[in-house]
Structure 1
């Protein structure tokens, strides 16, 4: 079980994050200010820390700098301040990632999982669940509301690639490289054909919380439609 410390002085946001990550199987501790955050850090071990910037007593930047004196535990800073200066400062003092409010819970979770995979490359996962969608690369199956969806191998790999990075836009060339491999020299329009068939097969299922969306002139993304905080 992965352990996570969630630090935010906003009771509502902290409660939503805590409940979400507990439901996802994490052991969660929560802190309401910078001083409490350092107390938990000094007395417990964590796999990752979600750290708000604007907190009372000690702000998130100072907390991050203090933690970095003794630990390389991954830190994702979360803040309402989205200016480039703040992002750069957070990364320069040792944060691993930076998320601006409002955010999607699934996006935060995707960032957490990506960092944990980098920290533990041997910890590979061949299944993915989002809302009512389940994808397994162990047996190449897809289920929506526990009902099987008949997809080809390439359609499953496209859906996996997109769903594994919620709201991230993939160009056709990037999807070609990710799914077909960098040595594939086919036309990028083959991506459009596979996406078209994939969407057609999904129309009979409940996809109200997510969809495979077109970003005109760019490519495609797995668009999530709920849990905005």
Structure 2
């Protein structure tokens, strides 16, 4: 059965009316978070420091409670300047960031966090407009969750992002077309110069380097790179565009990540542009057939005087 218009989801994914945002209050959410942790969400073995930035105390407490029960060390901030100060004091492993913050909004906070150094960001937004989600991805957010949301789902998203950002032992170094990606060090270069890539941009580049010459649809990339079986495909489009801007010599005319019309994208290490359809050869027009002149009977003009033969 479909969700009723305007209905919210509680921590367990059950529908609620819009006027009941807490669904029994934070105590109930903490209790359910504890139950979820006891049933084994798997986050405890991969815990890290999470900074939760939201000006709504109820949302911040519920999200923090779930992450805390899942084994994470949680810090909180209610506005942008406080978030930047906390991040500078104790660098988080991941930031859960609300888009609609007073004063300095989430987009600016995300950009400033990126300027301090690489850190995964999951954006929270109450807006359903695609433009807001794309803006968040454009400034470097690795993932987003639209309010209302299930805190359990958010914990799973956190686990997924951190699982990918952690170094993988034994992962081979990838290289092609002057590009390198070292999954163990999470480091990428272009002609020896280090690339400033976000988490998803790095994963996308590593996937392309590992599968040269193969065309993949956006659904395939979302499943293989993001680990999602469903989601907003514009996420893939935005990340491909951002990655092109960092690895292509001319992003407006990409040679490495090529668009395969009707399919998706293909990484071409040779860097050859998609061949154009050749124009049909032009043939010279046939030479005109020579005309042989025939003798014509000359008729003298009417006023011409008669010749002696005519007299």
Q: TM-score range, shorter-chain basis?
A: 0.5 to 0.7
Aligned-CA RMSD value = 1.8
TM-superposed CA distance for 1:57, in Å, is: 2.4
Kindly state the Cα deviation for residue 32 of structure 1 after the two structures are TM-superposed.
Answer: 0.5
Q: 1:184 — aligned with what?
A: none
| Contact kept? 2:137, 2:143, Cα under 8 Å | yes
- Supply the distance in 1 between the matched residues of 2:118 and 2:167 (Cα, whole angstroms): 16
**Structure with greater helix percent:** 1
Normalising by structure 1, report the TM-score.
0.53
Higher relative contact order (CA 8 A, sep 6+): 1
Of 50, 72, 82, the residue aligned with 1:36 is 82
Moved over 2 A (4+): none
How big is the shift at 1:70? 2.3
CA shift digits 1:165-186 (9 cap, x unpaired): 89x66xxxxxxxxxxxxxxxxx
Gaps of 5+ in 1: 124-164, 170-229
Task: List gaps (5 residues or longer) in structure 2.
Answer: 1-46, 170-226, 231-311
Q: CA shift at 1:121, angstroms?
A: 4.8
Q: Which has the larger radius of gyration?
A: 2
CA distance in 1, matches of 2:88, 2:107: 17
The structure whose residues are more often strand, as a share, is: 1
Structure 2 residue 37 is the aligned partner of structure 1 residue 13: no
Q: Determine helix, strand or coil for the equivalent of 2:116.
A: coil
Whether 1:110 and 2:152 are equivalent positions in the alignment is: no
Q: What is the rounded CA distance, in whole Å, between the counterparts of 1:39 and 1:70 in structure 2?
A: 11
Distance across 1 between alignment mates of 2:120 and 2:80: 17
Structure-2 separation of matches of 1:89 and 1:16: 26
Secondary structure at 1:95 match in 2: coil
2:101 maps to 1:52: no
Number of corresponding residues: 127
> 2-side partners of 1:116 and 1:73: how far apart?
10
